[in-house]
Structure 1
Amino acid sequence: MNPLRSTLLQGVAFAVLATLCWASNFISPYVLQGYSIQDFMLVRFMMAGLIGVCVLPFYRAQLRALRPRQWLTGMGLGVVGYLGYSSCIAGGVIYGGPLLIAAFIGAVPVLQALLGNATQRSLRWGQLAVPVTVLCLGLVAINLNLLNESASGPTQLGLGLAFSFGAVLLWLSFSAVNQAAMVHLHTQATAAWTCLMTIGAGLAAVALTPLAWGANLLRLPSLGVTTPDALHLYGWAALIALLSSVIGAGAWNVASRRLPMVLSGQLIALESLFASLLGLAFHGRLPSMAETLGLVLILIGTVYAVRVILAPTRLASEQPATP
């Protein structure tokens, strides 16, 4: 197999793993057990930060390869891409339902494909027309169904839209900065970079806890921190922290080294698909026809984008070697 094609396929596999793990973000509002979403998010990211602190000593050599400025950048990305993004995801699910925020995340590939190709210009614009159009149609199908059938009031739906837009903006910012930072990152420092992200998110959660407590947003102090429901909350927080902030982030950083930004942006659409399926499962219902059509179109657009990116390397591998 052509080495470049093999590298791209590895990148696709790691990106799929990352999006599957990140989809666990969307179930946070369904596992609160009477506690607030603020309780859950702060506990979750403190746990993620603790995991990062415990794991980082195993990568001391990698850490020494990073400059202090890179330490700060990695931790800052954790605040934006972990704590900020996941909080917007949770708000979108609470106020807009399980598919509204997932549909907006499905729009990220459209924006990131344009941004990635504008900065790297790895494809002709015409090559992106079909996958981007298919993804847009999938997004429209899901949103039309939501707007027609939503039982929530305009204020609640407006909050859902605001959190959804926030999630998209934070992800685009995180992805662009992280992709640029990875270019200057030592090739063996990916694991340490992921640990710094989790530590940054954990430190931000610790800093925000007194503010949330003072604003009466926390229920753990009043409902109890050692009750069976609290232990249930801790278990889910630890699981999602491990899946999303550790495994998912690590897999994405590995994928970022192997994929051009234009392709990694397309693969984010799979997070929308996985998140929609998880949300529907927790709601105990099947998708409507419009939702099914939208999800299928998002999947088709993603697969088509992968084929477009891999086509040049496949043709190159089939070319006879020249003396």
Structure 2
Amino acid sequence: MSLSTNRLIGVGCGVATGALWGMVFLAPKFAPDASPMLLSAGRYLAYGVLAAALLAPRWNKVAPLLDAKAWRGLAWLSLAGNIVYYLFLVVSVHFAGVAASALIVGMVPVAVAVWGLKDPDAPPLRKVGPPILLAAVAVVLIGWESLSREALNRDVSQVLIGLACGLAALLSWSAYAIGNSRWMARLPQVSAQDWSLLTGVVTGGFALLLAIPAVVEANGQTTDQWARLAAASMGVAIFASIVGNAFWNQASRLLPLSMLGQMIVFETLFAFAYGYLWESRWPTVIEIVAMAMMVVSVLWCVRAHRPAAVAAAEGDH
């Protein structure tokens, strides 16, 4: 396939990832009585079991492709991109709401795209700077209205805790996105799907350690609360972790890092859409304008990464 075709497929994978990952913001709302630790343990235990079952038939072929360094890489990626990230995200959703959490995590494209400018195949800052700035303005615009609305219904200290945890989730996931892209490039012999499943197996191991104190803490959960937790955990594990991560890894293999970061914008857009459905309301005019700005930002960035555009930009030096 040509470079432009790969980029188009990569963008499609990025959109699919956003649609699936956006669902994770609703899990804390669907099981509001479950603690962040219990939600994280439930989601990633389910992810680990499913990943192990899917990978089992090919384990003898896949496992030898990784050395000790790659397994250590999987360990820190599993912590940064799954366990630690989701713990902070759940706390953020509980205290600051879906909109505020999606807002802060929506800044990941800016962080990743800026970091990706160091790559040799990245276009110059003057080409990708404007769409990155546009995305940042869009996120701030949504946040200005969303945070004002959330602050009216919550204690200020709770909102601040939620925002701090959202920022921690942003930093954790940015580190994962950058590190995962690097490891995917180092291990071309491992398919995107297998890398996702391997991440799931390692994450499931960490979730086992997390499950013990989480279950002890949740001793008073009712049958209905356990059922909601199980449904949320299994749904997010299948759609966001298994399928979503596979799409993301494919996008990571087809797109340069500075462009890959822009794809995370779709997670924010879908998270807001799901939030509107959950709250049974339409977006405001400001929110519609901001989301339109995000879409324009992504399309602008895609154009900046077209081979002809990159070559022309480099020829201007």
Same structural fold, with TM-score higher than 0.5 when normalized by the shorter chain: yes
Question: How far has the Cα of 1:228 moved from its partner?
Answer: 4.4
**Corresponding residue for 2:5?**
6
**Corresponding residue for 1:210?**
212
What whole-Å deviation, never above 9, does each CA across 1:124-176 have from its counterpart, x for those lacking one? 11111321121122112112213433212220111111111011101111011
**Corresponding residue for 1:320?**
none
Separation of aligned partners in 1, 2:145 and 2:57: 49
Question: How far has the Cα of 1:50 moved from its partner?
Answer: 0.5
Structure 1 residues without counterparts, runs of 5 or longer:
317-323
Question: How far has the Cα of 1:265 moved from its partner?
Answer: 0.5
Separation of aligned partners in 1, 2:75 and 2:194: 11
| Residue 257 (structure 2) pairs with residue 261 (structure 1) | yes
Question: How far has the Cα of 1:222 moved from its partner?
Answer: 2.5
Structure 2 residues without counterparts, runs of 5 or longer:
313-317
How many aligned positions are there? Answer: 309
* Contact map agreement 2:42 2:211 (CA 8 A) in 1: no
Shift >6 Å, 4+ stretches: 313-316
* Contact map agreement 2:121 2:256 (CA 8 A) in 1: no
**Corresponding residue for 2:174?**
172
Instruction: Output the aligned Cα RMSD.
Output: 2.1
Give the 3 Å change call, closer, same or farther, for CA 76–315 of structure 1 in structure 2.
closer
* Contact map agreement 2:7 2:255 (CA 8 A) in 1: yes
Question: How far has the Cα of 1:282 moved from its partner?
Answer: 1.1
The correspondence of residues 176-187 of structure 1 with structure 2, limited to 5 A, is: 176-187=178-189
Separation of aligned partners in 2, 1:206 and 1:188: 26
Question: How far has the Cα of 1:229 moved from its partner?
Answer: 4.3
The correspondence of residues 83-98 of structure 1 with structure 2, limited to 5 A, is: 83-98=83-98
TM-score, length basis structure 2: 0.90
Amino acid at match of 1:258: L
* Contact map agreement 2:49 2:201 (CA 8 A) in 1: yes
The correspondence of residues 1-323 of structure 1 with structure 2, limited to 5 A, is: 3-32=2-31, 34-60=33-59, 61-120=61-120, 122-149=122-149, 150-151=151-152, 152-213=154-215, 216=217, 218=218, 221-224=219-222, 227-310=223-306, 312=308
Separation of aligned partners in 2, 1:297 and 1:70: 39
What whole-Å deviation, never above 9, does each CA across 1:211-255 have from its counterpart, x for those lacking one? 3345x3x2xx3335xx34423331221111011111111111111
Question: How far has the Cα of 1:190 moved from its partner?
Answer: 2.9
Amino acid at match of 2:192: T
Give the 3 Å change call, closer, same or farther, for CA 231–212 of structure 1 in structure 2.
closer
Question: How far has the Cα of 1:33 moved from its partner?
Answer: 6.2
Give the 3 Å change call, closer, same or farther, for CA 283–314 of structure 1 in structure 2.
same
* Contact map agreement 1:79 1:200 (CA 8 A) in 2: no
Instruction: Report the identity percentage.
Output: 23
Question: How far has the Cα of 1:121 moved from its partner?
Answer: 5.2
Separation of aligned partners in 2, 1:213 and 1:173: 29
Question: How far has the Cα of 1:266 moved from its partner?
Answer: 0.8
Amino acid at match of 1:253: N
Between 137-146 and 168-177, the greater mean CA deviation after superposition: 137-146
Amino acid at match of 1:48: Y
Between 36-45 and 307-316, the greater mean CA deviation after superposition: 307-316
Amino acid at match of 1:281: L
What whole-Å deviation, never above 9, does each CA across 1:267-318 have from its counterpart, x for those lacking one? 11111101111112112222222222222211221122112212627999xx
What whole-Å deviation, never above 9, does each CA across 1:165-208 have from its counterpart, x for those lacking one? 01110111101111111121033443332112112221111102
